[in-house]
Structure 1
Amino acid sequence: MEKAQKIKTYVLLHVLMLIFSLSPVCSKLAGQQPFLSFKFVLFYGLVILLLGIYALLWQQIIKRMPLTTAYANKAVTVVWGMVWGALLFQEDITLQKCIGAAIIVVGVILYAFSDSKSQKRRATDD
């Protein structure tokens, strides 16, 4: 895969992870509403819509990159969860949470680089 296409696929993957991370936000908002009220149904409808969009786009992602690489990048949803928690629910971002998020991001980056190196090695072996 050419470099520009690979970058485009990674950007699409991370936009997809952003969309996926909004699903629990809508679920939490629905849980704060009276059962079967309009807002309750609206927020759970958004959960279903977001998960449907995620499922369709996920299939497009795994057509373009190895499943292991795509799945390893799902860990960034933890970082998005922290962001949404702080912005929407006034949750605290502690030092421990930041360290954990940094470990996750570093792990994803390390995996991405190791995966690209192993693909180069396989290409030269063939």
Structure 2
Amino acid sequence: MAATRGRTLLGLHALLALYSLCSICGKLAAGFEFMSPGFILCYGSMILVLGLYAIGWQQVIKRMPLTSAYANKAVTIVWGIVWGVLLFHEAVTPAKLMGAAVVLAGVVLFSIADGEEG
């Protein structure tokens, strides 16, 4: 049972990393002229990612409580910081790190509380 929950959480977080790529596609599209091939490619990629995410999300919520799945969505903020650093060379400030830590602490505390009830 714990292994199944662990695999579901791992899958959820991989799915959330994928979902966070939608913002990357949007930011990249902003660098292209409207309806140019690059713009269309970026937005086409965004639609593909959202489609894959929708299918994966349905699988996740079949296997875990909706409240737990939604609480974990906050982790996309951390992915935003990671992608910003890796792809756009954005600075990681102490305030961003502290904000990410607060978000992660909230997710962990919610997961612990959710585990005690289930």
Indicate the TM-score class for this superposition, using the shorter chain for normalisation: over 0.9
Alpha-carbon deviations, 1:25-81, whole Å to 9, x = none?
011101111111111100100000000110110010000000000000000000000
What residue in structure 2 maps to residue 101 of structure 1?
Answer: 100
Deviation of 1:86 (Å): 1.1
Look at both structures and tell me which one has the larger radius of gyration over its CA atoms.
1
What residue in structure 2 maps to residue 53 of structure 1?
Answer: 52
TM-score, length-scaled by structure 2:
0.98
CA distance in 1, matches of 2:8, 2:58: 12
Deviation of 1:116 (Å): 0.6
What residue in structure 1 maps to residue 3 of structure 2?
Answer: 4
RMSD across aligned positions (CA): 0.6
TM-score, length-scaled by structure 1:
0.92
What residue in structure 2 maps to residue 30 of structure 1?
Answer: 29
SS in 2 for 1:69: helix
CA distance in 2, matches of 1:8, 1:97: 29
Which segments of 5 or more consecutive residues in structure 2 lack a partner in the other structure?
A: none
CA distance in 2, matches of 1:29, 1:84: 12
Which segments of 5 or more consecutive residues in structure 1 lack a partner in the other structure?
A: 120-126
